[in-house]
Amino acid sequence: MTNGEGGTAVRGREPGGCAGESAGVRGGGWSAVGALAAATFTVVTSEMLPVGLLTPIGRELRVSDGTAGLTLTVTGLVAAVAAPVLTLLVGRRDRRAVLVALMGTLAVANLVAAYAPNAAVLLTARVLVGLGMGGVWAIAAGLAVRLVPGRRVPAATSLIFSGVAAASVLGVPAGTFLGELGGWRSAFVAMAVVCGAVAVALAVLLPPLPEDRAVRLNGVLRLLRGASVRTGLLLVALLVTGHFAAYTYVRPVLEQVAGARADQIGTLLLAFGLAGLAGNFAAGAGAARAPRAALLVICGVLAGAVLLVPLLGRGAGVPGAAVLVAVWGLAYGGVSVSTQTWLMAAAPGAREAASALFVAVFNGAIALGALLGGRAADGWGAVGVMWLGGVLAVGALVTVGVGRAPGK
């Protein structure tokens, strides 16, 4: 059968009566959902770890901030390709085994990064990070329907994506603090240990998750015929590119515009992450009821906060920057769960294929945002980075306002 957006829905029955790509499985529950939340936390922290460490990485490896930012660009590009490709290649294999193997890959990648003698080796390690995170995110994002009853799926999806916000709350600031205390390499070692622990948790807490039918390339491409799917993917591209164009370089921006000291950066990033965690759960509840309304608010608030940083940051100093960063985090914290909810509603019978497209576009946008932000940082300075991010967020606001919403 086909869904309303041209995607192919695969017959099967999920726990709680939810349709999905495969038959229901036994086991799972909230402990399994928690393990997946830990996995999304770990992959996003691994990806974003260089954000708070760009300055010391660039200093030790003798490269510019823009060049150091390529550690994010490379990871995002690889993850964008890995998400759909790995989803196709794993076929009907047990998703639990695949997730455990991918988390092991992330552990190795972080160890290689920790001992990288130069930028080339560090970038190679970041390729492995992209491979692992693209696969983990694409597979984990759509598993809530297989682990909890249907009425609990929105809450479980929010919990899985809370790992993204928690990575900002704990992961990136903790990496920044570790970098200050023991050098940037110690942050990557710690991340490798966390990846190994999460791999064990996934192996123990997830039930077997075999697929009745493999995702096919024509099924993925067929989803693109749906207007609401295309709108959702464009929205993801604009929002995430704009955010990462600015956020990748948030440390030099806070230092140059607001006059923040190195020992204040971790606190400011913690404020961003705490607000983001709150935004994730608020947006998850709102998007389940009205995805367009939730995303209109998210886009408007995010655009306003980013555009105000260069206008108010200099005059208001660190306290003013802290408020803007917190508002920015509140808005961005809802992006992942709201856009994922949009795409799941647009392609209810092809969740894993939709997740693969979502993760591909999301990570391609991270790469593009880091790249464009790097060019803006090197050419226009910190103010230019903020204006670029704000303009793209305004574009996302227009897109969600005029584009086709799910079910319309």
Cβ atoms 48, 167 nearer than 8 A? yes
pLDDT over 90 at 231, yes or no: yes
User: Angle CA(341)–CA(275)–CA(334) in degrees, nearest 5?
Assistant: 10
- Could you give the residue ranges of the DSSP H alpha helices within 347-381? 351-379
pTM, full prediction: 0.74
pLDDT over 60 at 117, yes or no: yes
> Which pLDDT score, from 0 to 100, does residue 13 have?
35
Q: In the chain, pLDDT over 90 holds for what percent of residues?
A: 28
Confidence of residue 14 (pLDDT cuts 50, 70, 90): very low
SS3 2: strand
Cβ atoms 269, 326 nearer than 8 A? no
Tokens read off for 249: 């370089």
> Which pLDDT score, from 0 to 100, does residue 202 have?
95
Most confident of 31-35, 312-316, 353-357: 31-35
pLDDT over 60 at 197, yes or no: yes
> Which pLDDT score, from 0 to 100, does residue 53 have?
84
pLDDT over 80 at 42, yes or no: yes
Name the residue type at position 63.
Answer: V
> Which pLDDT score, from 0 to 100, does residue 219 have?
63
Cβ atoms 356, 140 nearer than 8 A? no
Bigger pLDDT: 389 vs 69: 389
Most confident of 100-109, 140-149, 203-212, 360-369: 100-109
> Which pLDDT score, from 0 to 100, does residue 298 have?
95
Q: How does 29-52 read in b/e, with b if 16+ C-beta sit within 10 Å?
A: eeebbbbbbbbbbbbbbbbbbbbb
> Which pLDDT score, from 0 to 100, does residue 240 have?
92
Most confident of 80-84, 124-128, 318-322, 374-378: 124-128
Mean pLDDT across 153-168: 79
User: Angle CA(113)–CA(53)–CA(134) in degrees, nearest 5?
Assistant: 55
Cβ atoms 349, 19 nearer than 8 A? yes
Q: In the chain, pLDDT over 70 holds for what percent of residues?
A: 88
Cβ atoms 96, 202 nearer than 8 A? yes
DSSP 8-state class, residue 206? S
Q: Any bridge partners for residue 2, and if so which?
A: 8
pLDDT over 90 at 395, yes or no: yes
How does pLDDT run across 281-295, given as a tens digit for each residue? 888 778 878 889 999
Mean pLDDT across 215-231: 77
Confidence of residue 59 (pLDDT cuts 50, 70, 90): confident
C-alpha 190/C-alpha 58 separation (Å) is 20
Whole-angstrom CA distances from 164 to 23, 43, 231, 253, 298 are 28, 8, 22, 23, 16
> Which pLDDT score, from 0 to 100, does residue 27 have?
55
Tokens 């020992």 belong to residue: 263
How does pLDDT run across 290-347, given as a tens digit for each residue? 889 999 999 999 999 998 887 776 666 777 778 888 899 999 988 988 998 898 888 7
> Which pLDDT score, from 0 to 100, does residue 6 have?
38
Based on DSSP, count helices (H) and strands (E) in the chain, helices before strands.
Answer: 18, 0
Q: Give the up-direction half-sphere exposure of residue 296: CA atoms within 13 A in the CB hemisphere.
A: 8
> Which pLDDT score, from 0 to 100, does residue 212 have?
62
From 108-112, 186-190, 270-274, the region with the lowest mean pLDDT: 270-274
Bigger pLDDT: 376 vs 392: 392
Tokens read off for 236: 């993801």
> Which pLDDT score, from 0 to 100, does residue 49 have?
86
Confidence of residue 15 (pLDDT cuts 50, 70, 90): very low
Name the residue type at position 380.
Answer: W
Confidence of residue 214 (pLDDT cuts 50, 70, 90): low
Mean pLDDT of the chain: 82
